[in-house]
Chain A
């Protein structure tokens, strides 16, 4: 199986901060990388698909980049509603895998 490693596992940030989360695949996955946001008690929500495509309705402060094995999710200016846990997901393999998650907390 393709392993997805996210870093950091958690971070503290303030409203207005620029936040960057990374996701590394154990082998090349081209651009088959999606990002999700999950708030406590809720189902996840897709933010970015195909590494850099913004899902409809998602604010433009979210962006994604990368290809191959290294990917990044960036929040350009953190808003109060953005405090949540973020997951990457690879769909290159028929055995889909998620990263371990990154919890973004208020500083």
Chain B
């Protein structure tokens, strides 16, 4: 079975540009999470969805960040406009409600904002 698929794996952009990160969760999973990982702050939960509905977006840094899940097989995390401090690895993870805490992570999208 395919795991969680993220794209792009690497993105280099200039400050002020719009960035869109994409995620395809594992089929049948009803939870989807977006995490950000940096050396300074570690692994931070940005937002998570249950059955395509955002449940908790308290970790979203500011209004420049937005996330959507239009259907069960696709989610996006958008940053507009991007800033150098947004440089990080962004992970998408999915899980099934019947398996508490068992998150399956994608390989991450490494974002560099110049």
- Chain A complexes with chain B: no
Residues of A at under 8 Å CB distance from B? none
**Which B positions have Cβ atoms within 8 angstroms of A?**
none
